[in-house]
Amino acid sequence: MLCNAFFKSSPKATLLFNDRPLTAVQRSSMKIGDIVYIIAIVFFAWITFGIVRGNFQRKFDEQGRRKDLVDDTEESSTSEK
């Protein structure tokens, strides 16, 4: 009984338990909140990708070697040549 009352009060359940069928406009239109939510997710993914790409570009040199793992003796021997 309690479970049935809970489901009838939720917004998704009103679609299931509602006696009237939805109109074509109610079924197919996206609300402005949904559009803003999708734009926010795309923007978040784009910003995250840019941050990760920038971190990798700062950690590697032009030859693809990690900057923090390069030996000091190797750098001095290549600069002497």
How many Å apart are CA 36 and CA 42, to the nearest integer? 10
pLDDT in tens, the chain (81 residues): 445 555 555 555 555 555 666 666 566 677 899 999 999 999 999 999 999 999 988 898 888 888 888 777 655 556 555
First to last CA, the chain: 85
Q: What does the pLDDT read at residue 64?
A: 82
Q: What does the pLDDT read at residue 1?
A: 46
Q: What does the pLDDT read at residue 60?
A: 87
Q: What does the pLDDT read at residue 41?
A: 98
Q: What does the pLDDT read at residue 37?
A: 96
Q: Residue 19: what residue type?
A: D
